[in-house]
């Protein structure tokens, strides 16, 4: 009879891993990786060593750094600073999880993002890449803040998650709109007095045309006293409304305070977005994306032509698009669809609630559109992309917040007979490595 190993049938023999050598070593930074960390090369070693990722460094830096995992190190000392280095505008830089690149100038970052996008397209197989145009949002314009709150012995910490999880108190911010930054001390004071906030909460602030609108998710339940305190708080700080839901819950939120309609204008149409609705990060970024999409539209041959818009949200692009052709807009979030449908009454817009991952718009429908406008979430368009590749609409205007997925889809579109005919890089996530791209694909002319 065979003996069962003592640690159980499924356990693998423990692999002996060498302990991490944490001796500080000298590195030269050669480039930035796609997440914005410097790629460091050992200077004091004869042997070929794998490059390591070192956050908050710039190409040209020489640093003394200590390994913290098998491929990451942290700076102990900046030995030789790169000429491109600038003084970070925020004292919390390096501690707060919001920015990765404040040690580099916005102009340098924009050029870096452009070259990353160009390289990605080339690797995807684009041989005739058009000139990449670019736009960058100014500091202090971010109108959407996704904050975390923790109750501590010293009061309430309210800010962003640091890499690794801790919440850093946001005492200043060069990114957020000043109307949000100036609200933070009052928000801390308010949270401290609430029964619905025991230890942890998430607070989403959307700065709308009607003022800030809040969505709070917390680990307690609202008491009667909470409702009164929150109404007083909103009244005295010009907050149009506050909705609440249990933390981590996917349920619909409950409106605890509504003092005025929450409104935002897309073009000249006023929309009432639901609590916590997706909005482009800044008004300026939204404008650049909208303009790039409209510019990429093919000329409309007549009133009957239609644009199919996938992942329409509350209508950021829908209303401007409807000035050019009839729009069939698809979106998966019921509350966004409701907001969009209400505002679209009487316009050349048809709105459909559709989970495009489960029930994509079919190839046949897509093939008849003047253009398909696609603005998927970070995870990409999944099954919907397959239908696009089958339907082969004449023009595809692709808005992407995830270049990695965009390049993967580009390779598929090239195989399906498309070419890239315009690219606009929009740096609406200033001082981060994130990039938004608007590009137009069109079918190459078929030989007759
Ligand atoms: C990047 S946002 C773009 C929204 C809009 N175009 C805008 O600019 O405001 C992506 C949108 O896709 C929606 N979405 C995410 N997954 C979806 C799915 N499986 N089916 C349909 N819509 C989805 C989200 O609700 C969100 O509104």
Asked whether the predicted pLDDT for residue 67 surpasses 70, the reply is yes
Cα(111) to centroid(ligand 1), Å: 28
Residues 244 and 370 in one domain: no
Q: What is the pLDDT of residue 117?
A: 98
Q: Mean pLDDT of all residues in the chain?
A: 93
Per cent of the chain over pLDDT 70 is 94
Under 8 Å between Cβ of 347 and 269? yes
Q: What is the token pair recorded at 162?
A: 């640091």
Please check whether residue 297 lies inside any domain of the structure.
yes
331 is in an annotated binding site: yes
Cα(349) to centroid(ligand 1), Å: 17
Listed residue (301, 316, 323, 313) closest to 394, CA to CA: 301
Please check whether residue 29 lies inside any domain of the structure.
yes
Round to whole Å and give the CA distance between 175 and 98: 9
Cα(354) to centroid(ligand 1), Å: 10
* Atom nearest to 286 CA in ligand 1: 8
Shortest-distance Cα residue to atom 12 of ligand 1: 311
pLDDT-based confidence at residue 448 (cuts at 50, 70, 90): very low
Residues 367 and 263 in one domain: no
Cα(142) to centroid(ligand 1), Å: 19
Q: What is the pLDDT of residue 300?
A: 77
* Atom nearest to 309 CA in ligand 1: 6
Which stretch of DSSP H or E encloses residue 265? strand 264-266
Asked whether the predicted pLDDT for residue 251 surpasses 90, the reply is no
Cα(381) to centroid(ligand 1), Å: 10
Going along 165-221, which residue ranges are E strands? 167-169, 200-208, 211-218
Asked whether the predicted pLDDT for residue 4 surpasses 70, the reply is no
Residues 124 and 194 in one domain: no
Listed residue (131, 135, 132, 128) closest to 109, CA to CA: 135
Q: Taking residues 357-376, report their average pLDDT.
A: 97
251 is in an annotated binding site: no
Phi, psi of 32 (to 5 degrees): -105, 140
Please check whether residue 187 lies inside any domain of the structure.
yes
Shortest-distance Cα residue to atom 15 of ligand 1: 377
Of 319, 331, 405, the residue with max ligand 1 atoms within 8 A of its CB, to mutate for a pocket test, comes to 331
Shortest-distance Cα residue to atom 13 of ligand 1: 311
Shortest-distance Cα residue to atom 10 of ligand 1: 377
Of 277, 288, 293, 313, the residue with max ligand 1 atoms within 8 A of its CB, to mutate for a pocket test, comes to 313
Residues 265 and 290 in one domain: no
Contacts of residue 433, Cβ cutoff 8 Å, sequence gap at least 6: 32, 34, 35, 36, 100, 101
Q: What is the token pair recorded at 178?
A: 């000043």
The CATH number linked to 119 is 3.40.50.150
Asked whether the predicted pLDDT for residue 6 surpasses 80, the reply is no
Please check whether residue 4 lies inside any domain of the structure.
no
Residues 159 and 131 in one domain: no
Q: Taking residues 199-208, report their average pLDDT.
A: 97
C-alpha distance from residue 126 to each of 154, 314, 332, 442 (Å): 55, 33, 32, 13
Please check whether residue 96 lies inside any domain of the structure.
no
Round to whole Å and give the CA distance between 110 and 442: 26
pLDDT, greater one: 89 or 4: 89
- What digits encode the pLDDT tens for the residues 271-304? 999 999 999 999 999 999 999 999 999 987 777 8
Question: How many distinct structural domains can be found in the chain?
Answer: 3
- What digits encode the pLDDT tens for the residues 26-59? 999 999 999 999 999 999 776 667 889 999 999 9
Cα(332) to centroid(ligand 1), Å: 7
Shortest-distance Cα residue to atom 17 of ligand 1: 332
The CATH number linked to 32 is 2.40.50.140
Q: What is the pLDDT of residue 7?
A: 41
Please check whether residue 97 lies inside any domain of the structure.
no
Which range marks the domain in which residue 163 is found? Answer: 144-269
Residues 385 and 437 in one domain: yes
Please give the ipTM for the structure prediction.
0.99
pLDDT-based confidence at residue 72 (cuts at 50, 70, 90): very high
Asked whether the predicted pLDDT for residue 21 surpasses 70, the reply is yes
Please check whether residue 406 lies inside any domain of the structure.
yes
Residues 289 and 433 in one domain: yes
Shortest-distance Cα residue to atom 6 of ligand 1: 312
Q: What is the pLDDT of residue 9?
A: 42
Contacts of residue 67, Cβ cutoff 8 Å, sequence gap at least 6: 20, 21, 22, 52, 73
From 99, 173, 234, 401, active-site residue: 401
Residues 149 and 120 in one domain: no
Under 8 Å between Cβ of 419 and 128? yes
pLDDT-based confidence at residue 8 (cuts at 50, 70, 90): very low
Residues 116 and 264 in one domain: no
* Ligand 1 environment, Cβ below 6 A: 278, 280, 311-313, 316-317, 331-333, 336, 354-357, 375, 377, 401
In the annotation, is 234 catalytic? Answer: no
Q: What is the pLDDT of residue 22?
A: 87
Of 276, 328, 332, 397, the residue with max ligand 1 atoms within 8 A of its CB, to mutate for a pocket test, comes to 332
Which of 269, 297, 330 terminates a domain? The answer is 269
Which of 251, 269, 287 terminates a domain? The answer is 269
Please check whether residue 379 lies inside any domain of the structure.
yes
Residues 314 and 420 in one domain: yes
Q: What is the pLDDT of residue 19?
A: 83
- What digits encode the pLDDT tens for the residues 84-107? 999 999 999 998 888 999 999 999
Residues 167 and 248 in one domain: yes
Residues 314 and 239 in one domain: no
**Reduced to 3 states, what is the DSSP secondary structure of residue 157?**
strand
C-alpha distance from residue 14 to each of 17, 18, 70, 320, 346 (Å): 9, 12, 18, 60, 67
398 is in an annotated binding site: no
């Amino acid at each position: 009879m065979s003996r069962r190993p003592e640690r159980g049938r499924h356990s693998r023999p423990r692999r002996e891993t060498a302990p991490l050598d944490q001796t500080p070593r000298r590195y030269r930074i050669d480039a930035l990786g796609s997440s914005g960390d410097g790629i460091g090369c050992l200077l004091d070693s004869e042997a070929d060593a794998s490059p390591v990722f070192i956050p908050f460094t710039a190409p040209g830096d020489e640093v003394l750094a200590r390994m913290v995992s098998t491929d990451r190190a942290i700076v102990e000392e900046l030995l030789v600073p790169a000429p491109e280095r600038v003084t970070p505008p925020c004292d919390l830089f390096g501690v707060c999880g919001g920015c990765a690149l404040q040690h580099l100038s916005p102009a340098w970052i924009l050029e870096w993002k452009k070259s990353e996008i160009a390289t990605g397209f080339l690797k995807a197989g684009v041989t005739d890449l058009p000139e990449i145009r670019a736009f960058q949002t100014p500091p202090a314009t971010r109108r959407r803040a996704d904050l975390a709150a923790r109750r501590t012995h010293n009061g309430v910490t309210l800010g962003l998650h640091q890499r690794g999880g801790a919440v850093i108190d946001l005492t200043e911010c060069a990114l957020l709109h000043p109307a949000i930054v100036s609200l933070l001390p009052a928000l801390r004071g308010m949270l401290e007095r609430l029964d619905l906030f025991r230890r942890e909460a998430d607070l989403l602030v959307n700065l709308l045309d009607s003022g800030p609108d809040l969505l709070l998710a917390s680990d307690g339940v609202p008491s009667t006293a909470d409702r009164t305190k929150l109404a007083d708080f909103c009244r005295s700080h010009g907050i149009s409304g506050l909705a609440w839901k249990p933390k981590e819950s996917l349920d619909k939120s409950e409106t605890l305070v509504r003092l005025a309609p929450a409104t935002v204008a897309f073009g000249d149409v006023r929309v009432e977005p639901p609590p916590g609705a997706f909005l482009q990060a800044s008004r300026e970024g939204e404008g650049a994306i909208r303009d790039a999409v409209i510019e990429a539209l093919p000329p409309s041959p007549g009133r009957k032509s239609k644009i199919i818009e996938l992942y329409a949200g509350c209508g950021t692009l829908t209303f401007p698009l409807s000035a050019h052709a009839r729009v069939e807009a698809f979106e998966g979030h019921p509350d966004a669809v409701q907001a969009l449908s209400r505002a679209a009454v009487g316009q050349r817009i048809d709105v459909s609630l559709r989970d495009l991952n489960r029930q994509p718009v079919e190839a046949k429908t897509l093939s008849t559109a003047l253009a398909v406008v696609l603005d998927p979430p970070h995870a990409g368009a999944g099954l919907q992309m397959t239908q696009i590749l089958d339907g082969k609409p004449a023009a595809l205007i692709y808005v992407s917040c995830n270049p990695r997925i965009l390049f993967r889809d580009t390779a598929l579109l090239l195989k399906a007979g498309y070419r890239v005919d315009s690219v606009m890089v929009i740096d609406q996530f200033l001082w981060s490595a994130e990039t938004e791209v608007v590009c137009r694909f069109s079918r190459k002319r078929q030989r007759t």
